[in-house]
Structure 1
């Protein structure tokens, strides 16, 4: 087999896409390959015996002389800088130049390689612009945005988060996010990072009590997203201070309570008294007719009995609308009284199930829970067509749970059959939120609708 001929080194240089240049120590070009022609547009004849400064823009002339001086002194030159083509186009090139030495070790010439990195620089610029835009959005958004590692330590803290919690980014970086969550949520899954992997927190919006740097507590809404970053899992927490919303909800509930109390008082003092008067008049009339043996006394007596029943009905309604004194009656007694009223008004079964007596010292807590029970029962009867309702009040894992279970047509179906969507469920959720709790409505396996309100409870 004949020995294969070895290619000439200059022929190899002519067929590579990278630019290869040689110059003397004054920067005069002595070699210019095809790669250089493709990148800079100048052919060999246009560059041989010409100064390499031709591919340096005017603004880079000082750099050219500086680089040449370094090469004369025996140093290599590396870097990325702008160059200019034959057609006046500014391009980015990556350059590596080094001196060639004679036998005495003195620089005698220069060899350099270069390649066009314009596409890479375009990508870098796009990434930088995208990064700057993302950073601008991050810093101007009204939401607090916090990133944490898998141990809960804060990695970044945007401007809005600083405004919400009172920490600067430097102060917040490195502390654990549990320091931003107040009791009674100290044992919330936000502080148990192993729950992230089980998706009990990731992707869900929840409400907690936040804690500022000065120790003040406020209601906040947050959601957690999982991000795969350089092979590690980090979490982005988006936080909203909902103090203003809670204040508005509180005002809505106050107005609602005022209107309810006013309506109850009108029923009791106005309509109730009128019905009592009609009952007494009709009763006396029936007695006179009967005494004088005149016809119609039975019919009048029947009307009198119906008016009396209507009067009792109005009184029951009035008692349900007016303010319930929780400190005097207690939630347990109020719920039992409510169950009795429901049975009397709607002629259905309504029972109360409590494993133990629960004392609620906070009058506001008791009133909100009472109203949630009242609204749930109203929905069960009017829309769910239930004839059996169970009220439960029990302590469980540091929480107080109020449950209202009914045997109606089911929550989903009852909502479909409603002609209009009322504010009842929204107000129930507002009440639960006011107590730093949550409201859940679901159907059990036996098709019963269950409304459960859970609030923190340490008594």
Structure 2
């Protein structure tokens, strides 16, 4: 074989050497492509995770504002009329939380009555959507970002809740304006954490989009709020409507370079679904791939070297894996930081509960106490440290009700129904000292994560109110005893008068049996009758004075005591105050009845102001009581009239008016008191149906007229009655006034 045709040894080595670089370059290109894809995916996932972290913080921020406005609405419901307290409360809240630009409250008409900015007081916001939503009972209204004109036009979020009274009536709304500076702080804090991570590269852009797609927060301040990214068709903005969190590769709208954008949408954790924002975090694709391109440049410089580039690639790959692991560790630290932030939010919620005016108790599904505020410590005597972890049934529920409590809890878990849930009830609680106390209780269940129920209870001590009710009952019983004593006293006096009258009748009968002394007996009877009238009038006067000065004064003092109780209880319950006021009205009504009874027994005005004024008063009261038009006139009446004469004329006029009201069916009656040379004359004239005065004994009117005649005869007077059917009745009394009376 010639040398020219002999095979070359190791010729395949050339081929191998030629093929190996191609294979290595191909493998290297594929590896670089894979690494670039993974780097882009890792960067996108990191951006999406950071955007999700920001959206989660936004959710917690908005939920905290949601809880704040609910607590403010509850405080305003309890202190609905205390404007001074409300103004101080909103001022202190705005100072404690700088995120609030403005806090205000309206009345039921939509007019601002309390505000941190005095210039807004009196403004009418009844036509605003947030007021309409709160008044229609839609719960807490969370508005989207929009300029707030009161503070000069900065972007703000409106959070509004309705204020309701103890019976659920609408009293107004409490509304706040939350500045977006707090949201920017959330983003800048997350960016600082992002920049501190090992392996960070390039510049980072971010944007907050409203639900409509308007950028209300932008790292590029020149374009903040000027563009609607959804209308411009930005892929990341449109993709946020399909999923909560992810990343996309897209072209930058202004610089027209490829970028990687991570996005996340707020969810509000199910509290409010009408407010969904989008967080965008964006990096240039060139910055993400800068490290791998640097490696590619080094490989190009190495030329045909195979082992070192391959080994370097392996080392670089391991380094990248370790770096990704460190990134994962950092993400875990971020998650732990988010958990710590959540605990801080729960602590703030606990502080809000501590500020509540009622006792608050939280309980888990096992019946174990999980929350216990200061008011609960004051009501039941258990410190928070000792109460937390105890079973509710053995802590505040009396022994006789514990089995019913456990049974009701099991029934609720089985059926979802509870007779005492979501309403206020009055029950008996157990104090740490062992004694029972009356309480007002409202329990609300809530279904948490994992389908686990928790229970929240608001408790109010009503011991003072129950004590006031007991005092009111004792006052009522005292009043009843006074009424019974008054009835017995009047009955005893009446029986005494009846006994005296019976003895007088017996004595008159005995004297009339003696014909020989008929005239003297008649005179003695007349004297005794006059004395009886005097005794009767004196007794009437004494009973009237006792009723007025003793019983009536006691009733007045009782009414004053009830009024004092009402003033002390006015701030506890309006219903209780109304009940006490009703008792006071009944005491006042009873006092009027006693005063009228005293006046009927003996009008003190007759002794104090004289006969003319007493008759005028009698006619006025008759007109008011019977609705029959009455008039009174007098002329030339002496300043002094004997007591027997005045009493006789007054009683005759009183009896005559009573007969007119009962029998005459009249529309008018006239009473006239005049003086003649022989004495005084009283004339009572009505336009009623009248009667036949010629009938013996005056028919059904005879007994009353006979009594008036006998009374007039005792004071040496004369009574004349003239009447006819259909022509009314005239009663005229003439009484002789003894000489020497002027």
Same fold (TM over 0.5): no
Shorter chain as denominator, the TM-score bin is 0.3 to 0.5
TM-score, normalised with respect to structure 1: 0.40
TM-score, normalised with respect to structure 2: 0.26
Point out the structure with the larger strand share: 1
Larger Rg: 2
Point out the structure with the larger helix share: 2
